[in-house]
Amino acid sequence: MEVLGKIIPVPEELLPRNGPRITVVDMHTGGEPLRIVLHGFPPIPGKDLLSKRHTMVTEPGLDRLRRALMLEPRGHAGMYGALLVPPDDPSEADLAVLFMHCEGYSTMCGHAVIALARFAVDSGLVEKRTPETPVSVQCPCGVVRALVQCDAPSQNGRTRFRSIPAFAFATDVTINVPGHGDLIVDIGYGGAFYAVLSASTLGLDVRTSRTSELTAAATTVSRAVREQVKLSHPDNEDLAFLYGTILTDGNDDFTEIPTANICVFADAQVDRCPTGSGVTARIALQYRKGQIGLGQTRSFESSATHSQFTGRAVEETQCGPFPAVTVEVSGEAFYTGFSTFILEAADPLCSGFLLP
């Protein structure tokens, strides 16, 4: 290609050849990024998806690749990723995914499912149908069924998915939070566990307080819950950890007015969208507390970007001893770019970094 009157090699010829290359496509759902790995990762050992997740957690060489893609200089403190792997049972799922973020690996991610489902249709991983294309995504928490709209003139592919069984693990739990005293929180499961409480109990407003203040407060709550509440999951103990805290506007009773929240997960990472698995957990909690009925659709707004998802409980089910619901969440994903990253062997910052 010609730049400033000079012939410059095309990027493929320009890139050095003394390190791994990883090719990705970038998308976002409601402002929350998703970096989908296309090529460059080695096969992940493991007999099933959860064991592959465990391999990623414990194998330094593989985790180094996560860090290289999620952290600076290739990523940033809010980056999120998806590594596609073969499903455990191809008759049950079209694809399987390991979710990555700046701290490690999640068990469920709604915004990623929305983006991956559209990508699966656009890339031909699944055969396109009208008016909606079904895409089954195996996540570490279970198989999630998505439907991608394929008859809209804009072709943006609005996507809705039905969750794994979501439930209220505990409601009205008293937690002692340093600097705030005793607070009442709910703990819900939507493929990952979240502590949920109104920002007002921390002296904050989810719509007007600074993101840094909300992040610090939510992180403090997460630490307190992890220390004081023992979580369990009837399917697998690998799922039994608190992923983050969701601060809300306190608007939990059903209304057509959107309810706002911010989710702070992993190591103080801020979700830019309303959080798909968080919406699932909030619906499960609201249903358990009699604040919403089956089939009632609510809008959930990100206080960070003002993007919205919708959510509704579609049917009652069971998860071990927990009464549960299947939740349908809807949103839109968009493409932002396509990249080939190089990991030069001589680069001292090759594995990535984050500023403290």
pTM for this prediction: 0.95
Would you call 109 a catalytic residue per the annotation?
Answer: yes
Give the relative orientation of helices 49-58 and 60-70 as an angle to the nearest 10 degrees.
90
Tell me whether the CATH fold assigned to 2-158+335-342 matches the one assigned to 166-331.
yes
Decide: 303 and 260 in contact? Cβ < 8 Å: yes
Decide: 176 and 222 in contact? Cβ < 8 Å: no
- pLDDT at 154 (0 to 100): 57
Q: Where are the domains of the chain?
A: 2-158+335-342, 166-331
* Tens-place pLDDT, residues 229-240: 999 999 999 999
Alpha helices in 197-349 (DSSP H): 211-228, 276-288
Taking the C-alpha atoms of residue 169 and residue 230, their distance in angstroms, rounded to an integer, is 11
Best CA proximity match to 166, nearest among 196, 132, 133: 196
- pLDDT at 225 (0 to 100): 98
Phi, then psi, of 241 in degrees rounded to 5: -145, 150
Query: What is the β-pairing status of strands 242-248 and 193-198?
Result: parallel
- Supply the CATH classification number for the domain 166-331: 3.10.310.10
Q: State the DSSP code for 79.
A: -
Query: What is the β-pairing status of strands 132-139 and 95-101?
Result: parallel
Taking the C-alpha atoms of residue 125 and residue 102, their distance in angstroms, rounded to an integer, is 27
Model confidence at 111, in pLDDT bands (50, 70, 90)?
very high
Model confidence at 173, in pLDDT bands (50, 70, 90)?
very high
pLDDT exceeds 60 at position 206: yes
- pLDDT at 345 (0 to 100): 87
Residue 96, classified by CB atoms within 10 Å of its CB into exposed (0-12), middle (13-18) or buried (19+), is buried
Taking the C-alpha atoms of residue 152 and residue 286, their distance in angstroms, rounded to an integer, is 32
Q: State the DSSP code for 42.
A: P
Residue given tokens 């919406």 in the structure block: 279
| Catalytic residue selected from 109, 141, 263, 319 | 109
Alpha helices in the chain (DSSP H): 11-14, 49-58, 60-70, 110-122, 211-228, 276-288
User: Which CATH architecture is the domain 2-158+335-342 placed in?
Assistant: Roll (3.10)
Taking the C-alpha atoms of residue 229 and residue 130, their distance in angstroms, rounded to an integer, is 46
DSSP calls for 15-27: S-SSS-EEEEEEE
Decide: 116 and 122 in contact? Cβ < 8 Å: no
For the segment 330-355, the average pLDDT, to the nearest whole number, is 94
pLDDT exceeds 60 at position 219: yes
159 is written with which tokens? 């996507």
Enumerate the β-bridge partners of residue 245: 195, 264
More confidently predicted of 155 and 205: 205
For the segment 9-21, the average pLDDT, to the nearest whole number, is 74
Taking the C-alpha atoms of residue 31 and residue 34, their distance in angstroms, rounded to an integer, is 9
Taking the C-alpha atoms of residue 165 and residue 144, their distance in angstroms, rounded to an integer, is 10
Taking the C-alpha atoms of residue 215 and residue 261, their distance in angstroms, rounded to an integer, is 12
pLDDT exceeds 60 at position 115: yes
pLDDT exceeds 70 at position 271: yes
251 is written with which tokens? 């608007």
Best CA proximity match to 85, nearest among 56, 64, 57: 56
Best CA proximity match to 26, nearest among 59, 56, 69: 69
Rg of the chain (C-alpha set):
20
* Tens-place pLDDT, residues 132-170: 999 999 999 999 999 999 986 655 669 999 999 999 999
